[in-house]
Structure 1
Amino acid sequence: MGQIELFLNITVGLIMIILLAQLFGSMAQKVGQPRVVGEMISGIFLGPTFFGYLLPDIQGQIFNNETISILFVLSIIALAFYMFIVGLEIDFSKLEKSVARHTFFLSIAGFFPAAITGFLVAFLLYGNFVVNSNSLVFSLFIGTAVAMTAFPMLTRILEEKGITHTKVGTLALFSASIIDVFCWILLAVVLALHKANGYGSVLFTFFGLLLLVIVGYFIIRPIIQWMITTKFQNAIKDNESLPPVLFATILSLILLYAISTEVLGLYAVFGGFVLGVCMPRKKLFQKKLIASMEPMVKVFLLPIFFAYSGLKTQFIGLMNPSIISIIIILTIACFISKYGACTLTMRAMGYSWRTSSSVGSLMNAKGLMELILANVGLSTGIISEEVFALLIIISVITTAAAMPLYNYSLTKESRILQKNGSKPTSLTQKN
């Protein structure tokens, strides 16, 4: 394929990806769903199940092997940048002591029952799949997938509802962030076990990751802190965006960390996440850095990731009774172990049934985080394309169910709040 033809295919493909993501995202919002649900479906639409089935020649021409290779590189960069933002938004210094104990219990309830349930179900169903990983690695991976929570999506929902700074909002937010940290740590263990050629390989991965954390927190963090409080302090205050030198430094560090975690046998997204967690917690700096990165990441880069995932998702092969029954079993397992455990824990801590159910519904959503996890599993050979498609379906179902269940849980309280003309800040403990 010539360079001009490749350019045309990539350009046409990107136009389709960006516009469809916006279209499907807007449609999702109009029916009361999070935007990410529509964006995920837009990627699936471009894949072999829909676009490839209806217009196979055109789809094959635009999204050929060379095009998909370029989309793969862009999607990895997208995930590194996105996970950096996710890590940057986690700030445990804001966790109040009054909420800390409840956060601990909700985090435990949101992680361990789901992870154990997912592990057991996967272990029992292991023989139904043809995968390149052993039963332990496969089961641990599925356990991680079931335990995952859509922390970034939950953050946006709480902001839209105006309850981010309430007791329940803070509780849900920090619990979700802790659960996702647990999941990424467990995934690192799974990847190390999968790629290990012995204990030496596992130790190399572990100590390499530990070194990245130490360098990030004790060397990079102080340097960035000095840059934003001394060298560029006035420039940050006086301008709407970050100074180019500072912004370029951070972007370069994200890519460097992505490369480092890939070399360690982990996935590039780990690098972005680790660096984001290590960044200084200065409100103005965080706000302007996110404002500089988020539009490009969400409007341009993430839709590429959704499209790349969709191009690998084939649903036609899942249309048989045994696979459908597995999807139903795993979906029920997700709801019982995640929604059920979180709801009961909230109730046991003294919250109303409606508030408990609303938090449980949000914690059960998988969203983009599940999509990222599934891509890690597929690219490293832990799961097959069949299991990948299965996880995509579960991610869409749990995410799509989150808002209806959330709204239903709060119908009565929301009506009272609207009648009083106040924001839903009364989602507090039951007296």
Structure 2
Amino acid sequence: MVVIEPLGHHELFLVIVQLALLLFVARLVGEAFSSIGQPAVVGELLAGVLLGPSLLGIVAPTVYESLFAVSESQFHLLEVVSWIGLIMLLVVTGLETDIDLIISKGRTAAILSVGGIVVPFATGFALGWYLPVEFIGAPGQRLVFSLFIATAMSISAIPVIAKVLIELDVIRRDIGQLILAAGMIDDTIGWILLATVAGLARTGVVDLGSAATTVLSVVVFLGVAFTVGRRVVAETIRWVDNAVGSDAALLSTLMIFALAAGAITQYMRLEAILGAFVVGVLVGQVKRFNYQVRRSFETMTLSIFAPLFFAIAGLRMDVAALADPTVFTVGVVVFAIACFGKFSGTMVGSRLAGLSRWEGITIGGGMNARGAMEIVVATIGLGLGILTTSMYSIIVAVAIATSLMAPAIMRWSIPKIEMGDAERRRIEREKYLKESFVNNLTRVLLPTRGTVDTQYAARLIGPLFRPLRTDLDLLYIDGSDASTADSGYGWIGGRLFGRKKTDSKTTEQGESESAERVLTGLEERLGEQMGSIRRLVRNAPGSVADTILENADVRYDMIVVGERTLGSDPDGPLFSETIDRVIQEMPCPTMVVSTSESVKRDPGQIDEPIRRILLPTVGTQASRHAAEVAFTIAAEENALVEIAHVVARPGLSDQFVDSPDLTNQLDIGNRIVDRDAELGRRLGAKVVTTVTVSDKPGAELVDIADRNGADVIVMGTNTRPISQRAFFGPNVEYVVNNAPCPVTVLSSI
């Protein structure tokens, strides 16, 4: 048995000091550049240059040699951290990538990528063919050398481009997504070219079989990732969220997927960054991985690991090597041809794609950044003996110089690109969706005992969650005797449910059939959902509220309950004590659905179309949340939403002499309904507005619903505990008790 020696004390001490110093200087210089209006990535790249042989090696050579002039094995420890940062940065890039937008602009991206590859490759090959022989590692292999220079000139640095786009806050714009799409295509082709040229350097012959294998590997990986992989990623994240329910678990799952996919693509000789990027894209499409969790991962990446990656990349540059006049002259020529090839290629491509001049300049500036990708190419070329040390220094210098140019060019040109109406609407909608109440409902619980109210609740929330990829848990509550009950789970139809400890097969079979019937009915009324639907069955021999709260002791974004479902007294208070407890003790919003007496007498009305929704509003955040619910349902059902605001006329005891002037209150009411109407139109709903005055607002709302034939009323309200009950206010209570149609009360605050 071989015992692996642990990392030595000095080696560990050295790598910790290196990381601390690199991160400190990268963040310091990055913040300095941010303070003068430049992207932090510029300063982070320069931090490595400052700590490398270019500055620290000259100013304090002893310090530099003790810290960074180390053995290869010691430097490899830094490279491991650098690669983790690179993988995480590509995951962030994938999370921010809108695959549907890229597909919709696939033709444009393909044209841009062809221009960004063909022209730089041709100019790079010509450059390599005519460079002096002293820059060729193997003078007898000028063809290989020329192909290698052509490949190096064709590559783009997606990590640099992505970080610049994120810092400039344009990654979600059409131009940002185009640059990412074209850059990814360029890089994929570039890695295929690199594999082919590297094989040629090793064998001395062009290995077309290796190139074909690489192309096939890319196709197979992407095909599997976006079919089987998409489902595996989505189901795994849902399972982790259900089983653990913490942000830390979701972040760990994301990183495990990224490393695993990176390992697969690295094994396939496609580079780990491709796998990490694809995982980011797939996870970004899973709604359970919400904005808050995504933001945590981005913050950790962009504040720690990405700066380390860029700083370590900058360490490789030695400006002193360029002091030789010949090397410097060749370096200037290489730099000029590199910029010319990328800019001219992307400009031609942008013209063919019908883009504007400023869009072409922006894309050229972004794709001209070579960054660490070209440094990796240069490192491979040096290791294969294709490049001399001088040529290696030139390519690294070009990589860093073009990366420093990109932010300045893009910052200058992007403001000159006019945003079209469609793009502006998309950006505004995305901004709204990040803060939207309904859009951030990723997991919802619907408890039921099979009554009319929860059946109608399922009918109502079906169109609400259908377009949102919301996951629904249906909890069937069985009021069995405590002596035969158990808190464990069993299976029904292949899905999770609670079962009894009993030897009676007949009893157990009867319960299964009852649960199956009720839950199947709920699923039919929910209709086809984009998110998952999970069945849960629990025994509740004691308190039904306790059963609900115990099962809801995981992360839910909302619970939907039926008003009469759990045995409320029609002659008592508005809701039963069970409903009150659920509303008060649930840490998430609650939607209470109460059907009308006519629906209770004739349950067949549940399945009737929803054509008109009454939305009372008072301009509060709770009303705004209810409005989102109503508009989302209306857009799916093609229903009309009537937005109503009732100004309460003061009672006789509050009046002085004449009738009060309510002009100001009416103006405020009109502004409230107009604001909600604008939101409704943005969400694709048809709306009308009503502003009226009444002594009794609750009675007025009931009259409006009756007069105009509302199919359902959706109200938002706050709860106030009075006598240990959830009090919604007299108007809400009046509407619930007297409305001619079902009423939904959303308590979201």
Q: 1:332 to 1:288 in 2, by over 3 A?
A: same
Structure 1 331/53 Cα, relative in aligned 2: closer, same or farther at 3 Å?
same
Deviation of 1:273 (Å)? 4.7
- Corresponding position: 1:187 with 2:191: no
Answering whether residue 14 of structure 2 is matched by residue 9 of structure 1, we say: yes
| C-alpha contact (below 8 Å) 2:41/2:310 kept by paired residues | no
Q: Higher strand proportion, which one?
A: 2
Equivalence for 1:111: 117
Distance 1:397 1:69, change over 3 A: closer
1:79-120 residue CA offsets vs partner (Å, 9 max, x unmatched)? 3443444455555332364x4433332222122111221222
The separation in 2 between residues aligned to 1:184 and 1:298, in whole angstroms, is 25
Does the aligned pair in 2 maintain the 1:126–1:135 contact within 8 Å? no
Structure-2 residue corresponding to 1:335: 339
What's the counterpart of residue 589 of structure 2?
none
Q: How many positions carry a matched residue from both structures?
A: 413
Distance, in Å, in 1 between the alignment partners of 2:119 and 2:21 is 41
Equivalence for 2:419: 425
CA distance in 2 between partners of 1:205 and 1:101 (Å): 25
Relative distance call for 1:114 and 1:75 in structure 2 (3 A) is same
What is the CA-CA distance between 1:42 and the residue it aligns to?
Answer: 0.9
How far is 1:312 from its partner?
3.7
Show the counterpart of 1:322: 326
Equivalences for residues 24-103 of structure 1 within 5 A: 24-63=29-68, 64-65=70-71, 67-87=74-94, 89-95=96-102, 97=104, 99-103=105-109
Could you tell me how far apart the structure 1 residues matched to 2:48 and 2:354 are?
41
In the alignment, is the contact (CA less than 8 A) between 2:251 and 2:297 conserved in 1?
no
**Residue in 1 aligned with 2:404?**
400
Higher relative helix content: 1
Change (3 A) 1:112 1:58: same
Q: Specify which structure has the bigger relative contact order, considering alpha-carbon pairs within 8 angstroms and separated by 6 or more residues.
A: 1
Look up the equivalent residue of 1:231 and give its one-letter code.
W
Write the distance in 2 (CA, Å) between the matches of 1:148 and 1:306: 17
Query: In the alignment, which residue of structure 1 is the partner of 2:158?
Result: 151
CA gap of 1:265–1:150, structure 2 versus 1, over 3 A, is closer
- In 2: Cα distance, 1:326 partner to 1:427 partner: 47
Q: Larger radius of gyration, structure 1 or 2?
A: 2
1:224 to 2:229 alignment: no
Q: Is the 8 A contact 1:163 1:425 kept in 2?
A: no
- Of stretches 208-217 and 167-176 in structure 1, the one that deviates more from structure 2 is 208-217
Distance in 1 (alpha carbons) for counterparts of 2:176 and 2:7: 53
2:289 counterpart SS class: helix
| TM-score, with structure 1 as normaliser | 0.78
- The RMSD of aligned alpha carbons is 4.0
Which runs of 5 or more residues in structure 2 are unaligned?
1-5, 424-749
Question: In 1, Cα distance between the equivalents of 2:145 and 2:278?
Answer: 24
Moved more, 378-387 or 353-362: 378-387
Instruction: Calculate percent identity across the aligned residue pairs.
Output: 27
1:281 has 2:275 as partner: no
Q: Tell me the distance in 1 between the aligned counterparts of 2:168 and 2:87.
A: 28
Counterpart residue type for residue 316 of structure 1: A
Aligned to 1:177: 184
CA 1:75–1:196 in structure 2 vs 1: closer, same or farther (change >3 Å)?
farther
Q: Partner residue of 2:673? A: none
Report if aligned partners of 2:148, 2:197 keep a CA contact under 8 Å in 1.
Answer: yes
CA offset digits 1:369-425 (Å, max 9, x no partner): 4344444544565544433321222123223333443455467x48xxxxxxxxx62
Q: Kindly indicate whether the alpha-carbon contact (under 8 Å) linking 1:71 and 1:305 is maintained by their aligned counterparts in 2.
A: no
- Contact 1:312 1:385 survives alignment (8 Å): no
Where structure 1 has 5 or more consecutive residues not aligned to the other structure, the ranges are 415-423
CA offsets 1:5-48 (integer angstroms, 9 cap, x no match):
33332222221111011112123334443322211111122222
> Aligned AA for 1:337?
G
